[in-house]
Structure 1
Amino acid sequence: MRIALIAHDKKKPDMVQFAIAYEKILAKHELYGTGTTGTKVMEATNLTVKRFKSGPLGGDQQIGALVADNKFDLILFFRDPLTAQPHEPDVSALIRLCDVRQVPLATNMGTAEVLIKGLERGDFAWREEDKDGFE
């Protein structure tokens, strides 16, 4: 499965802790991330994360373009709802694309834990069947 890891600045420590806690599960999948988030996860774990630009520099849009092409199976996006983001339109577009493409999206650690445990159980098999859907 292809998983994108994204976190706003104040949520990056949460993403790092999440990646440490679930490293064994995440290691079985292809990981992608926005620039700084991906770097921080790689520094704290033995995971390899293919990185895009940082979110404010277009990383959210790069990931969104791949979501539009049905190239991701899961997005873990730890958002900071209490801090204004200069790239909020990009964030909103990414969330909308996940809804359009039915790509599971966690915007907080609680939801991410539910999804990662489902991933471990094999609950995402339907994503393989739907990989080339919506064409």
Structure 2
Amino acid sequence: MGIEPAWTVAARYYKLADVHGYEGFLSKVKEMEALGGTLAVLFTGSIDPSSGKSWCPDCVVAEPIVDSVMKDKTEVHFLRVFVGPRDFWKDPQCPFRTNPDTRLKSIPTLIIWKSQSKLDGSDITDSNLIAMLFED
């Protein structure tokens, strides 16, 4: 099962966007911040053209679990960021790792933008923990 295209799930979210790469992320996150409200950002591995799936097996597992929780979050803006090819992500100087607003250590990672709320590793495959991210 590959990553579902944004246009097939857009009706489930107040605002949904997919972006590819760091520059796309910077541009889209500013645009979505301007909308106000809660912004959830999922960082995931890019799609491997040869398989049609993310090169990141943990991302393939986490995506449907995140989606199952997010489908009811109609008040939340949702940004899915494809971080790029594996070699780009694994570079210690990858901007997703060094940006003080993201400081990613692993993917997949789900964060509530501009907050301390973050899930990664095996935590992102627990739907209860994902739901708790959105509790006050």
TM-score bracket relative to the smaller structure: 0.3 to 0.5
Normalized per residue, which structure has more helix? 1
Give the TM-score, by structure 1 length: 0.36
Normalized per residue, which structure has more strand? 2
Which has the higher relative contact order, 1 or 2, with Cα contacts under 8 A spaced 6 or more apart?
Answer: 2
